[in-house]
Chain A
Amino acid sequence: MSDTAQSQPVIITTQPDKAGRQPIIITTLVVTVLAIWMLLAAFPFIWTLWGSFKVEGDFFSKADWTNALTGPLTTIETGGPFTGAGYHGAWVQEEFWRAAMNSLIVCFFVVTISLTLGTLGGYALARSTYRYAFWFLLAALIFRAMPPITLVSGYLPVFFQWNLWGHTATTIIVLVAINQPFTLWMLHSFFKNIPAELDESAMVDGCTRFQAFRNVIIPVMWPGVITTGLFSFLLAYNDFAVTAMLLSKENQTMIPKVASFLGTTQTKGNVMFAVSSVVSVTAPLFLMIMFFQRQIVGGLTAGAVKG
């Protein structure tokens, strides 16, 4: 084993590296796979974004799919090849802005509260060497496996009984709790990477555990916290099961609102409201992935690579 390892550099230096030269078949194969995958991954979004500025007759065109690109019916009905009618209908007429505001409130509080609880818990779990820390993490893993909708059926009778149903605050706390197992696991593995000597030396100097956490750990924990925060945000933003069941109509967030367009307005022929609201929901996510791509990739792989 050590023999081969030692002879390695010699071989690399004496033989020209072939890695850069690929057979033509492999190159074609790679390009084909990537092209197909890019088409599958990106095309639906581009198509829907483009189509959201058309009228229904063009977006759903049985006669000729190119109608969705050129928009002949849109030109006839509205006078131009593009129309913002869908957006106007959804945001103004159906008050989608209200749902957007609600989503903003829910996401903001879910992210702040889960991170506060999660950093405290995750830090303790990373530093404790006792067996119960492991059991705690295992319990969190089991909780992570519970489908949120099964929990919702546990909340409803109690929430009705105590008049907690329908309020934004209830939903925020529920989403924070559902988020906790994941947040704990993620922050736990981030804190494990911060050397324990750092806070231990602070404690030797006379800090209490909490002071060490505050003065030594908090200043260096932000990369991990930002990544975890992104995922908390995604969970709150993307949730449908909890928000659809626990929020009253006026407190509805965007995703249940989109779903409600399907039930009511589709029959009225206003499917374009749903299309434009879908684009509106997707746009912030687009920007988020663009700006935080590195953190998201890091976060997704952190759990895997460390086991």
Chain B
Amino acid sequence: MKHRSFFWFVLPSAVAMLLFIFFPIISVIVQSLHTEHEQVIRTVESCDLFGCKETTTIDQEATAALRAEKPLGQFAGLTTYLDRNHLAVDEVAMTWGSAESLRDFGTQMLNLPFYKAMGFTLTFTFVVTPLVIILGFIIAIAVNSATKMIRGPLIFFSLLPMMITPLVGALILFWMVDARGIIGTTLQQLAGDPDLSVKASTPLMWIMLMVYGVWHSAPFAFIVYYAGLQTVNKDTLEAARVDGANRWLQIRHVVIPHLLPLTTFIALMQLMDNFRVFEPIVSFSANAHATSLSWAIFNDLGGETRQLSSAAATSVLTILGIAILLSPVLVRTWRDFDRK
């Protein structure tokens, strides 16, 4: 295809991505280096019968004018990154000095908002992704062994948890886990503790969020593996069977190697999607127990006081996290392409 026609064909889509994905990333970086203007304070000397006093007032007009003139705010360098709500350098150094053990240090770190969000996001990503792959694989094998007739309905119901809006899916589970919901009351009976509440317990909340994560994403792994199973070489399977391989050995030596490339694909997609975990935290109103990086940004942006710089700094740190997470994959894709 000629350069010229390529250019015109991709132009609309390139402009859209440039304007609304690339520039916002730049804008986020710039914004994170600035903070809002402080209010302009004017000192007025007022004299009365008892002598002269200096009073300070906020000059609303001057503040508004300044903010309108330079909407970005004042240049702040890396201060937003280093403050208590982000990397919290001072606090970390202090904790490191005073903590008695590594465990103590870890617990104290989780009280800092950024590390709390980071801790949950990473745990969620690295617990949910492997579980999704394993569960998806098991379901795919099971559905593939079912008779052809019922496979259609099986796939239909399997797709539901993934296709339903994440916020809505999480809400549905949340209502069932509620202390008065069906799963909640069952748990109370099983534990023999009538006051047991998922909402009130941090470990239970974490487990619940991850259960939701696996429930939501397992269908994706399932459907990819299921499609892969349809292309397993029947001859190789037959050969393995003739050579005396039992069902497990067939799976181990024929099916799994065949599905391995798909696993890379699922893992890549899952890492990307789990790292942005957000909706379940809103649905479960879990923010007292677990926050994620995306939730922290959302929280900064919402509400009466929009803390744009703080949100921007967290966004930049999130993007860096994703870059680190994906770098092995990107390097590999690039090498593969280079070899071609």
Chain B 3-40 residues near chain A, CB threshold 8 A: 3, 5-6, 8-10, 12-14, 16-17, 19-28, 31
Which residues of A99-157 have CB atoms within 8 Å of chain B's CB atoms? 116-118, 120-121, 123-125, 127-130, 133-134, 136, 138-157
Distance to closest chain A CB from B277 (angstroms): 9
Q: Are A305 and B5 in contact (CB under 8 A)?
A: no
User: With the chains together, A286 CA to B157 CA distance in Å?
Assistant: 10
CB distance from B260 to the nearest CB of A (A): 12
Which candidate, B83-91, B102-110, B123-131, B167-175, is the interface stretch facing chain A? B167-175
Say yes or no: A158-B145 contact (C-beta < 8 A), given A150-B318, A238-B165, A304-B224.
no
Q: Does chain A have a CB within 8 A of B203?
A: no
Bound together, the chains give a CA A65 to CA B139 distance in angstroms of 29
Q: Give me 13 other A-B pairs in contact (C-beta within 8 A), A68-B182, A245-B301 excluded.
A: A8-B239, A26-B145, A30-B146, A37-B142, A60-B175, A60-B181, A124-B5, A128-B1, A130-B6, A151-B20, A151-B28, A154-B28, A262-B283
Give the contact stretch, choosing among A75-83, A88-96, A290-298. A290-298
**A121 & B182 in contact (Cβ 8 Å cutoff):** no
Task: Flag whether A240 is at the interface (Cβ < 8 A).
Answer: yes
Distance in angstroms between the alpha carbons of A54 and B167 in the assembled complex? 22
Partner of B180, one of A60, A210, A281, A286: A60
Closest to B333 in A: A138
CB pair B272 A154 closer than 8 Å? no
Q: Is the CB of B25 within 8 A of A157?
A: no
Please determine whether B5 and A293 come into contact, CB atoms closer than 8 angstroms.
no
Instruction: Say if the beta carbon of A186 comes within 8 Å of chain B.
Output: no
| A65 and B12 contact, CB distance less than 8 A | no
Q: Which residues of B contact A152 (CB under 8 A)?
A: 297, 301
- Bound together, the chains give a CA A12 to CA B241 distance in angstroms of 11
Question: Are A174 and B20 in touch, CB under 8 angstroms?
Answer: yes
Q: Tell whether A156 pairs with B276 under 8 Å between CB atoms, given A300-B220, A304-B224.
A: no
Contact between chains at B294 and A176 (CB < 8 Å)? no
Q: Is A146 touching B163 in the complex (CB atoms < 8 A)?
A: no
B113 close to chain A: CB less than 8 A: no
CB-based contact A154/B3 at 8 Å? no
CA distance A143 to B157 in the complex (A): 31
Interface residues of B in 271-301 (CB under 8 A from A): 272, 275-276, 278-279, 282-283, 285, 293-294, 297-298, 300-301
Closest beta carbon of chain B to A185's beta carbon, Å: 11
Contact for A123 among B9, B21, B157, B242, CB less than 8 A: B9
Q: Are B71 and A157 in contact (CB under 8 A)?
A: yes
- The complex places the Cα of A281 from the Cα of B169 at a distance, in Å, of 10
Query: Which residues of the other chain, A, contact B179 by a CB distance below 8 angstroms?
Result: 62
What string of 1s and 0s marks CB contacts (under 8 Å) between B243-264 and chain A?
A: 0000100000000000001100
Q: Closest residue of chain A to B272, judged by CB?
A: A145
Cβ of A238 and Cβ of B182 under 8 Å apart?
no
A64 to B180 Cα, complex, angstroms = 9
Q: Does B92 contact A (CB under 8 A)?
A: no
- A285–B265 CA distance with the chains assembled, in angstroms: 26
Give the Cβ gap from A140 to chain B, nearest Cβ, in Å.
Answer: 7
B164 pairs with A142, CB closer than 8 A:
no
Minimum distance in angstroms from A74 CB to a CB of chain B:
15
- Report the nearest B residue to A133, measured CB to CB: B6
Instruction: Let me know if B155 is at the binding interface, CB within 8 A.
Output: yes
Does B176 lie at the interface of the complex (its beta carbon under 8 Å from any beta carbon of A)?
yes
The 7 closest A-B pairs by CB, nearest first: A154-B24, A177-B20, A124-B9, A301-B227, A147-B276, A121-B13, A60-B180
Structural contact, B282 and A33, CB atoms closer than 8 A: no
Q: Determine whether A241 belongs to the interface, using a CB cutoff of 8 Å to chain B.
A: yes
* Interface contact A120-B9, CB-CB below 8 Å: yes
Residues on B with beta carbons closer than 8 Å to the beta carbon of A8: 235, 238-239
User: What total of chain A residues lie within 8 Å of the partner, measured CB to CB?
Assistant: 107
- B336 → A minimal CB distance (Å): 9
CB atoms of A41 and B224 under 8 A apart: no
List A residues at the B interface (Cβ < 8 Å): 4-5, 8, 11-12, 15, 18, 22, 26, 30, 33-34, 37-38, 40-42, 44-45, 47-48, 59-62, 65, 68, 116-118, 120-121, 123-125, 127-130, 133-134, 136, 138-158, 161, 173-174, 176-178, 180-181, 184, 208-210, 213, 234, 237-238, 240-241, 244-245, 255, 258-259, 262, 271, 274-275, 278, 281-282, 285-286, 288-290, 293, 296-297, 300-301, 303-305, 307
Using A121-B14, A304-B224 as known contacts, say yes or no to A147 and B278 having CB atoms under 8 A apart.
yes
Q: Is the CB of A282 within 8 A of B272?
A: no
A178 touches B21 (CB 8 A): yes
Do the beta carbons of A240 and B1 come within 8 Å of each other?
Answer: no
Given A60-B178, A144-B272, check contact A34 B13 (CB 8 Å): no
Complex contact B228–A41 (CB within 8 A): no
CA distance A290 to B20 in the complex (A): 34
In the assembled complex, B186 has its CB within 8 A of some CB on chain A: yes
Residues from chain A with a CB closer than 8 A to the CB of B12 are: 116-117, 120-121
Task: Name B31's contact: one of A12, A34, A154, A177 (CB within 8 Å).
Answer: A154
In the complex with contacts A128-B1, A238-B166, A278-B168, A305-B231 CB distance below 8 A: yes
**Which residues from A are CB-within-8-Å of B231?**
305
- Chain B residues with CB under 8 A of A11: 238, 242
Whether A289 touches B160, Cβ cut-off 8 Å, given contacts A65-B186, A177-B19, is yes
Q: Which residue of B lies closest to A27 (CB)?
A: B145
CB distance from B197 to the nearest CB of A (A): 11
Question: A245 — which chain B residues lie within 8 A by C-beta?
Answer: 298, 301-302
